[in-house]
Protein backbone atom coordinates (compact mmCIF):
# COMPACT_ATOMS: atom_id res chain seq x y z
CA UNK A 1 0.00 0.00 0.00
CA UNK A 2 1.27 3.48 -0.78
CA UNK A 3 1.33 6.10 1.95
CA UNK A 4 -0.21 8.71 -0.37
CA UNK A 5 -3.12 6.40 -1.30
CA UNK A 6 -3.81 5.56 2.34
CA UNK A 7 -3.80 9.22 3.39
CA UNK A 8 -6.03 10.29 0.47
CA UNK A 9 -8.47 7.50 1.31
CA UNK A 10 -8.59 8.43 5.00
CA UNK A 11 -9.09 12.09 4.14
CA UNK A 12 -11.98 11.18 1.82
CA UNK A 13 -13.52 9.07 4.60
CA UNK A 14 -13.19 11.98 7.03
CA UNK A 15 -14.84 14.42 4.61
CA UNK A 16 -17.76 11.97 4.26
CA UNK A 17 -18.01 11.73 8.06
CA UNK A 18 -18.16 15.54 8.24
CA UNK A 19 -20.99 15.62 5.70
CA UNK A 20 -22.89 12.96 7.64
CA UNK A 21 -22.60 14.92 10.87
CA UNK A 22 -23.64 18.17 9.19
CA UNK A 23 -26.78 16.33 8.09
CA UNK A 24 -27.38 15.13 11.66
CA UNK A 25 -26.79 18.72 12.90
CA UNK A 26 -29.60 19.94 10.63
CA UNK A 27 -32.14 17.86 12.58
CA UNK A 28 -34.12 19.01 15.59
CA UNK A 29 -32.17 18.89 18.85
CA UNK A 30 -34.87 16.85 20.58
CA UNK A 31 -34.69 14.23 17.84
CA UNK A 32 -30.93 13.76 17.87
CA UNK A 33 -31.02 13.51 21.68
CA UNK A 34 -33.75 10.84 21.65
CA UNK A 35 -32.92 7.18 22.14
CA UNK A 36 -34.74 4.62 20.00
CA UNK A 37 -34.35 2.14 22.84
CA UNK A 38 -33.38 2.71 26.50
CA UNK A 39 -30.34 0.45 26.02
CA UNK A 40 -28.98 2.32 22.99
CA UNK A 41 -27.30 5.68 22.72
CA UNK A 42 -28.96 8.59 20.95
CA UNK A 43 -27.30 10.08 17.86
CA UNK A 44 -25.78 12.89 19.92
CA UNK A 45 -24.48 10.42 22.51
CA UNK A 46 -22.74 8.53 19.70
CA UNK A 47 -21.00 11.78 18.76
CA UNK A 48 -20.08 12.53 22.37
CA UNK A 49 -18.53 9.06 22.62
CA UNK A 50 -16.44 9.89 19.54
CA UNK A 51 -15.38 13.20 21.09
CA UNK A 52 -14.10 11.31 24.14
CA UNK A 53 -12.32 8.62 22.11
CA UNK A 54 -10.91 10.98 19.46
CA UNK A 55 -9.42 13.21 22.17
CA UNK A 56 -6.94 10.48 23.11
CA UNK A 57 -5.63 10.17 19.55
CA UNK A 58 -5.50 13.92 18.96
CA UNK A 59 -3.34 14.32 22.08
CA UNK A 60 -1.06 11.50 20.90
CA UNK A 61 -0.79 12.96 17.39
CA UNK A 62 0.10 16.34 18.86
CA UNK A 63 2.83 14.78 21.01
CA UNK A 64 4.29 12.48 18.37
CA UNK A 65 3.85 14.32 15.09
CA UNK A 66 4.90 17.85 16.00
CA UNK A 67 8.56 16.78 16.19
CA UNK A 68 8.49 13.96 13.60
CA UNK A 69 10.92 14.24 10.69
CA UNK A 70 9.81 13.82 7.07
CA UNK A 71 10.53 10.44 5.51
CA UNK A 72 10.97 9.39 1.88
CA UNK A 73 9.40 5.95 2.39
CA UNK A 74 6.23 5.89 0.28
CA UNK A 75 5.26 2.27 0.97
CA UNK A 76 3.21 1.36 4.01
CA UNK A 77 2.66 -2.09 5.45
CA UNK A 78 0.07 -2.37 8.23
CA UNK A 79 1.09 -4.21 11.38
CA UNK A 80 -0.66 -7.47 12.24
CA UNK A 81 -2.03 -6.10 15.51
CA UNK A 82 -3.22 -2.89 13.87
CA UNK A 83 -4.89 -4.87 11.08
CA UNK A 84 -6.62 -7.05 13.66
CA UNK A 85 -8.07 -4.06 15.53
CA UNK A 86 -9.03 -2.21 12.34
CA UNK A 87 -10.92 -5.29 11.08
CA UNK A 88 -12.74 -5.51 14.43
CA UNK A 89 -13.81 -1.85 14.41
CA UNK A 90 -14.19 -0.70 10.79
CA UNK A 91 -17.64 -1.09 9.25
CA UNK A 92 -18.06 -3.55 6.40
CA UNK A 93 -18.56 -2.28 2.84
CA UNK A 94 -22.34 -2.81 3.20
CA UNK A 95 -22.41 -0.68 6.39
CA UNK A 96 -22.61 -3.68 8.69
CA UNK A 97 -20.88 -3.44 12.05
CA UNK A 98 -18.39 -6.25 12.68
CA UNK A 99 -17.71 -7.61 16.15
CA UNK A 100 -20.31 -5.79 18.27
CA UNK A 101 -18.65 -4.92 21.55
CA UNK A 102 -19.32 -3.22 24.84
CA UNK A 103 -17.72 0.20 25.23
CA UNK A 104 -15.24 0.68 28.04
CA UNK A 105 -16.83 2.79 30.77
CA UNK A 106 -14.31 5.62 30.40
CA UNK A 107 -15.67 6.20 26.87
CA UNK A 108 -19.35 6.28 27.83
CA UNK A 109 -21.10 9.62 27.24
CA UNK A 110 -22.25 10.18 30.83
CA UNK A 111 -23.26 13.82 30.65
CA UNK A 112 -26.22 15.40 28.96
CA UNK A 113 -24.92 16.44 25.59
CA UNK A 114 -26.02 19.42 23.56
CA UNK A 115 -25.32 21.00 20.20
CA UNK A 116 -21.79 21.94 21.25
CA UNK A 117 -21.08 18.20 21.04
CA UNK A 118 -21.56 18.48 17.29
CA UNK A 119 -19.40 21.59 16.91
CA UNK A 120 -16.65 19.91 18.98
CA UNK A 121 -16.86 16.81 16.81
CA UNK A 122 -16.59 18.85 13.62
CA UNK A 123 -13.62 20.81 15.03
CA UNK A 124 -11.90 17.53 15.87
CA UNK A 125 -12.47 16.23 12.34
CA UNK A 126 -10.80 19.35 10.94
CA UNK A 127 -7.89 18.69 13.29
CA UNK A 128 -7.72 15.08 12.08
CA UNK A 129 -7.61 16.35 8.48
CA UNK A 130 -4.68 18.58 9.46
CA UNK A 131 -2.80 15.62 10.94
CA UNK A 132 -3.57 13.53 7.87
CA UNK A 133 -2.10 16.27 5.72
CA UNK A 134 1.01 16.33 7.89
CA UNK A 135 1.29 12.53 7.59
CA UNK A 136 1.76 12.77 3.82
CA UNK A 137 5.50 13.12 4.51
CA UNK A 138 5.90 11.05 7.69
CA UNK A 139 6.89 7.42 8.28
CA UNK A 140 3.58 5.68 8.97
CA UNK A 141 5.36 2.53 10.12
CA UNK A 142 8.10 3.85 12.40
CA UNK A 143 6.05 6.31 14.48
CA UNK A 144 4.15 4.48 17.25
CA UNK A 145 0.88 5.65 18.82
CA UNK A 146 -0.46 4.15 22.09
CA UNK A 147 -4.05 2.98 21.75
CA UNK A 148 -6.89 4.43 23.81
CA UNK A 149 -6.99 1.28 25.93
CA UNK A 150 -3.44 1.92 27.09
CA UNK A 151 0.19 1.60 26.08
CA UNK A 152 -0.09 -2.18 26.23
CA UNK A 153 -1.50 -1.90 22.68
CA UNK A 154 0.58 0.36 20.45
CA UNK A 155 -0.22 1.03 16.80
CA UNK A 156 1.92 2.07 13.89
CA UNK A 157 0.87 5.60 12.96
CA UNK A 158 -0.88 4.38 9.80
CA UNK A 159 -2.84 1.80 11.79
CA UNK A 160 -3.78 4.35 14.45
CA UNK A 161 -5.20 6.61 11.73
CA UNK A 162 -7.07 3.70 10.13
CA UNK A 163 -8.45 2.63 13.50
CA UNK A 164 -9.51 6.14 14.52
CA UNK A 165 -11.37 6.84 11.29
CA UNK A 166 -12.90 3.35 11.17
CA UNK A 167 -14.13 3.90 14.74
CA UNK A 168 -15.65 7.23 13.69
CA UNK A 169 -17.38 5.56 10.72
CA UNK A 170 -18.72 2.81 12.96
CA UNK A 171 -20.44 5.21 15.35
CA UNK A 172 -21.77 7.51 12.62
CA UNK A 173 -23.49 4.44 11.17
CA UNK A 174 -24.78 3.68 14.68
CA UNK A 175 -26.12 7.25 15.00
CA UNK A 176 -27.82 6.99 11.61
CA UNK A 177 -29.33 3.61 12.52
CA UNK A 178 -30.83 5.13 15.68
CA UNK A 179 -32.27 7.99 13.62
CA UNK A 180 -33.73 5.51 11.10
CA UNK A 181 -35.39 3.65 13.98
CA UNK A 182 -36.93 6.99 14.97
CA UNK A 183 -38.28 7.44 11.43
CA UNK A 184 -35.69 9.89 10.12
CA UNK A 185 -34.49 9.42 6.57
CA UNK A 186 -30.69 9.29 6.54
CA UNK A 187 -29.75 8.99 2.90
CA UNK A 188 -26.07 9.89 3.25
CA UNK A 189 -24.29 6.55 3.76
CA UNK A 190 -20.78 6.53 5.16
CA UNK A 191 -18.86 4.82 2.36
CA UNK A 192 -15.83 2.78 3.19
CA UNK A 193 -12.86 3.04 0.91
CA UNK A 194 -10.34 0.86 2.77
Quick check: 170 and 90 in contact, CB under 8 A? yes
Alpha-carbon span 108 to 101, nearest angstrom: 13
CA-atom Rg of the chain in angstroms:
16
Of 12-16, 37-41, 43-47, 90-94, minimum mean pLDDT range: 90-94
Q: 3-181 belongs to which CATH class?
A: mainly alpha
What mean pLDDT value characterizes the chain? Answer: 87
What's the gap between Cα 145 and its chain centre?
15
Alpha-carbon span 122 to 129, nearest angstrom: 11
Burial of residue 17 (number of CB atoms within 10 Å: 0-12, 13-18, 19+): buried
Mean pLDDT of 170-192: 80
Residues in the chain: 194
pLDDT band for position 99 (cuts 50, 70, 90): low
Closest CA to 154 of 56, 76, 72: 56
Q: Give the pLDDT of residue 190.
A: 47
- Is the pLDDT at 106 greater than 60? The verdict is no
Q: Give the pLDDT of residue 125.
A: 98
Contacts of 1 (CB under 8 A, 6+ apart): 75, 76, 77, 78
% pLDDT > 70, the chain: 86
Encode pLDDT of 20-57 as tens digits.
Answer: 999 999 999 999 999 999 988 999 999 999 999 999 99
**85 vs 125, residue with greater confidence:** 125
Encode pLDDT of 137-152 as tens digits.
Answer: 999 999 999 988 877 8
pLDDT band for position 192 (cuts 50, 70, 90): very low
Q: Which helix (H) or strand (E) holds 74?
A: none
pLDDT band for position 4 (cuts 50, 70, 90): very high
Amino acid sequence: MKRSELIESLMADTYRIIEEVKHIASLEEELIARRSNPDRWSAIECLEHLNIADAHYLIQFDRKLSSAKPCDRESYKPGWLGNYFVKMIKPKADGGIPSPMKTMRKFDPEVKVQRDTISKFLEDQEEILGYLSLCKTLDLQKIKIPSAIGAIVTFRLGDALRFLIGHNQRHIIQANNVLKELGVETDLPVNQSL
